[in-house]
Amino acid sequence: MSNKFSGHIYSQNGSPIISFQIIDIGIYTNSRIIASTTDFKIYFEYKNNENLVFYNDVYLGKIINNTTIVDDTYQSLGRFNRNNINNENRFAIELNGKPALLFKNSDKKNYREAPQIALLVNLITQANEIELIWVTALSIFESIYFGFEFTS
């Protein structure tokens, strides 16, 4: 048995900037998310506490146990803890020793009214291309996976 949902993430002016589809499969939820813009496509496959991440059809790496980020060669790239939030409901991400903050998304009431992606992340300064891709991917995953829930 599987559930599917398609939607958009909106810009600050209300126009859709990211289209996505989430598919939950089985009793022990295995999820697949594809999110795309005119510039890039991100694909997530979430199963057994591992989240494989692909960017423009190239394997980027994975997130293990929702805390550890490894690259495509299984080298440690960073870490985060969604449960360690500050007073603004943000949690820290560390990529190659550089910090970023993401809003913890827990509003699963109505996805179509989810916060704009620009409000979800404070980007790290002096980030390289891979770090920016990871912050973007984590922001999109946070928005979609934790921002929508299938109900019966």
Any idea where the domains of the chain sit in the sequence? 2-145
State the Cα–Cα distance between residues 48 and 46, nearest whole angstrom.
Answer: 7
State the Cα–Cα distance between residues 135 and 102, nearest whole angstrom.
Answer: 9
Looking up tokens 């820290």, which residue turns up? 92
Within 10 angstroms of residue 70's Cβ, the number of other Cβ atoms is 18
User: 82: which residues sit within 8 A by CB, 6+ positions away?
Assistant: 66, 91, 104
Tell me, what's the pLDDT at 116? Answer: 43
Tell me, what's the pLDDT at 114? Answer: 43
pLDDT in tens, 77-99: 999 887 777 777 777 888 888 87
pLDDT in tens, 28-79: 568 889 999 889 999 999 888 899 999 999 999 999 988 899 999 999 999 9
Q: What is the pTM of this model?
A: 0.80
Q: Which residues pair with 35 in a beta bridge?
A: 20, 42
